[in-house]
C-alpha cells in the first residue's frame, strides 16, 4: 500500500494542487472553476472520479429548492478510484475501485443509531454532497466516514452500471420497500423517470403481482415495461385515477409509489390506494409550501392508508446489496443511460437534464 505522499506524487495535478469542478454560483447559475484537491480527515477518503450521473435533484438545487449556494460543487452520484485515505480508514486503500453513496451519513449520530441514518445530524442530514459540502462533479471528491460510506465494486460490474447504485437503485428500491407490497399485490408507480423505473424494478423484485406504471413519454413507457410494469397508464390521455381504479376492479392498489415530487401526483397516489394500503413517497417535492391530502379519499383521516416517505438510504451494506443485484443480472440499470458526455461537456449535459431535452432519461458523465 502506498503512503499518502507517494500517491500524491503519482498524480498529474499535484503540482498545482488544483482540480476542475462544476459548481453552482448563486441561483440558476452554474459553471466550471478550479478548486484545491480535497484532503481527507482521519476517517475519510478522497476519490478520483471516473463516472458520474446527473440527477434531476441537481437541477432542483440550482433553481433554489434548498436555498442559494455560492461556489458549491454539484453532483452526488459518482464512482471512482480511491486516491488517498485518512490514517484511520481500514477497509480501503488507494487504487480501490469504489461506489460512494449519494447519501453519506454520520454513523455516530443518534438518528443513525435509531435506524434513520439518512437523517443524521439533522433532517436529510445524510445528504451532504452538493448540499452542505462539495459534491462529486469534480476530478476528485471527499468522502466522510469512508469505511461506512463506500463499497468496493466487484470486478464483474462496470463503473457505468455501478454508478446507478449511488442513488437511482437505492431510492427506487426504497419506494418499493416502503410501499410494503404483499407478494402478488398490486402497485402503482407514479412517473417512470429513473427513480420510478427502479421502483418498478424493485416492485417486481419484491413480488408484486400487478405493476401499473403512470407515464406519458413513450421511451419511458418502454423502459417501464422492460423493468416490470404490466400495464401503462398514460395520464396525458386518460384520468390516471379512474384508469387505475378500473384496472383493479374498483379496489385500488395495495401500494402506490410517488416518484415524481408533485402535489397532484401525491394526491392521486392517495386516491388510488385501497384502505389499509401504503403510499410511499420518494419524489423530491421541490416547489410550494404544502402538499394536499384529499380528505374523503383519505377516509376523513381514518382509512388506515399509510403515508410514508424516505430519503435514499446510505451505507456500505446497502450498496453491497445493490451491487449484488447488478452483478447477478437481476436488473440492468444501464438501459436508462440515454446520453453520454465527457466531464468537459457537463454544462451541456446539465442544461439537457434541467430542461429535459432530447428525450433525456439519465446522462452519464465520463472523466
Half-sphere exposure of 355 (CA within 13 A, CB side): 8
How crowded is residue 135: how many other Cβ atoms within 10 Å of its Cβ? 27
Q: State the nearest-atom distance from the C-beta of 76 to Zn ion, in Å.
A: 5
Q: What does the chain come to in residues?
A: 367
Q: Is 78 in the site for Zn ion (CB under 5 A)?
A: no
Q: How far is the CB of 312 from Zn ion (least distance, A)?
A: 7
212: its cell numbers: 401499473
C-alpha cell at position 232: 401503462
* Minimum distance of Zn ion from residue 195's CB (angstroms): 8
Ramachandran quadrant class, 94 (left: phi over 0; alpha: psi -120 to 50; beta: rest): beta
Reading across the β-sheet that carries 70-73, which strands appear in turn? Answer: 30-36, 18-25, 70-73
Looking at the DSSP bridge assignments, the partners of residue 79 are: 51, 99
Helix, strand or coil, per DSSP, at residue 342: strand
- Between residues 139 and 167, which has the closer beta carbon with respect to Zn ion? 167
Task: Name the one residue in this structure whose C-alpha cell is 403515508.
Answer: 307
C-alpha cell at 322: 445493490
Count of residues of this chain found to bind Zn ion when the rule CB under 5 A is applied: 2
The stretch among 116-124, 133-141, 167-175, 222-230 that binds Zn ion (CB under 5 A) is: 167-175
Least distance to Zn ion, CB of residue 292, Å: 26
Cβ 111 to Zn ion shortest distance, Å: 21
- CA dist., res. 340 & res. 365, Å (int): 6
Cα angle 345, 349, 355 (rounded to 5 degrees) comes to 150
Interface stretch with Zn ion, choices 119-127, 143-151, 162-170, 240-248 (CB under 5 A):
162-170
Nearer to Zn ion, 272 or 322 (CB): 322
What gap in Å lies between CA 361 and CA 354, rounded to an integer?
11
Q: Which stretch binds Zn ion (CB under 5 A): 164-172, 271-279, 282-290, 327-335?
A: 164-172
CB of 102 to Zn ion, least distance (A): 5
Of positions 167, 215, 254, 354, contacts Zn ion by CB under 5 A: 167
Query: Which of 316, 362 has the CB closer to Zn ion?
Result: 362
**Between 134 and 167, CB nearer to Zn ion:** 167
Segment 227-286, which members bind Zn ion (CB under 5 A)?
Answer: none
CB-wise, 235 or 341, nearer to Zn ion?
341
Subset of 1-60 contacting Zn ion (CB under 5 A) = 55
Q: Please say which residue, 55 or 279, places its beta carbon nearer to Zn ion.
A: 55
Q: In the structure, how many helices (H) and strands (E) does the chain have?
A: 12, 16
The single-letter DSSP state of residue 117 is: G
- For Zn ion, the closer of residues 61 and 267 by Cβ is 61
- Shortest distance, position 53 Cβ to Zn ion, whole Å: 7
Q: How far is residue 186's CA from residue 203's CA, in Å, rounded to a whole number?
A: 9
Q: Among all residues, whose Cβ is closest to Zn ion?
A: 55
Cell numbers found for residue 310: 424516505
Least distance from Zn ion to the Cβ atom of residue 87, Å: 31
Residue 55 or 331: which CB sits closer to Zn ion?
Answer: 55
Binding site for Zn ion (CB under 5 A): 55, 167
Amino acid at each position: 500500500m502506498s503512503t499518502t505522499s507517494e500517491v500524491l506524487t503519482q498524480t498529474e495535478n499535484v503540482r498545482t494542487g488544483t482540480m476542475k469542478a462544476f459548481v453552482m454560483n448563486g441561483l440558476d447559475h452554474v459553471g466550471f472553476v478550479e478548486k484545491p484537491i480535497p484532503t481527507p480527515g482521519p476517517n475519510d477518503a478522497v476519490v478520483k472520479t471516473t463516472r458520474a450521473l446527473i440527477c434531476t435533484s441537481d437541477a432542483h438545487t440550482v433553481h433554489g429548492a434548498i436555498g442559494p449556494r455560492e461556489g458549491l460543487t454539484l453532483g452526488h452520484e459518482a464512482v471512482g478510484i480511491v486516491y488517498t485515505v485518512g490514517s484511520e480508514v481500514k477497509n480501503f486503500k488507494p487504487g480501490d475501485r469504489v461506489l460512494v453513496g449519494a447519501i453519506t451519513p454520520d454513523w455516530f449520530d443518534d438518528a443513525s443509531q435509531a435506524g434513520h441514518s439518512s437523517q443524521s445530524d439533522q433532517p436529510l442530514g445524510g445528504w451532504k454532497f452538493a448540499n452542505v459540502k462539495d459534491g462529486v462533479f469534480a476530478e476528485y471528491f471527499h468522502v466522510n466516514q469512508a469505511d461506512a460510506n463506500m463499497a468496493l465494486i466487484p470486478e464483474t460490474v462496470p463503473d457505468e452500471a455501478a454508478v446507478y447504485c449511488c442513488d437511482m437503485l437505492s431510492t427506487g428500491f426504497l419506494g418499493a420497500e416502503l410501499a410494503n407490497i404483499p407478494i402478488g399485490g398490486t402497485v402503482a408507480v407514479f412517473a417512470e423517470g429513473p427513480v420510478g423505473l427502479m421502483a418498478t424494478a424493485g416492485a417486481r423484485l419484491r413480488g408484486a403481482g400487478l405493476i401499473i406504471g403512470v407515464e406519458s413519454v413513450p421511451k419511458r413507457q418502454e423502459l417501464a415495461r422492460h423493468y416490470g410494469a404490466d400495464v401503462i397508464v398514460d395520464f396525458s390521455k386518460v384520468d390516471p385515477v379512474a384508469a387505475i381504479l378500473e384496472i383493479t376492479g374498483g379496489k385500488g392498489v395495495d401500494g402506490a409509489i410517488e416518484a415524481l415530487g408533485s402535489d397532484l401526483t401525491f394526491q392521486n397516489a392517495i386516491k388510488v390506494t385501497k384502505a389499509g394500503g401504503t403510499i410511499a413517497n420518494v419524489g423530491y417535492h421541490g416547489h410550494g409550501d404544502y402538499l394536499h391530502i384529499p380528505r374523503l379519499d383519505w377516509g376523513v383521516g381514518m382509512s388506515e392508508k399509510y403515508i410514508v416517505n424516505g430519503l435514499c438510504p446510505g451505507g456500505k451494506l446497502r450498496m453491497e446489496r445493490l451491487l449484488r443485484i447488478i452483478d447477478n443480472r437481476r436488473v440492468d440499470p444501464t438501459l436508462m443511460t440515454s446520453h453520454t458526455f465527457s466531464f468537459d461537456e457537463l454544462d451541456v449535459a446539465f442544461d439537457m437534464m434541467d430542461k429535459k431535452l432530447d428525450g433525456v432519461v439519465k446522462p452519464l458523465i465520463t472523466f
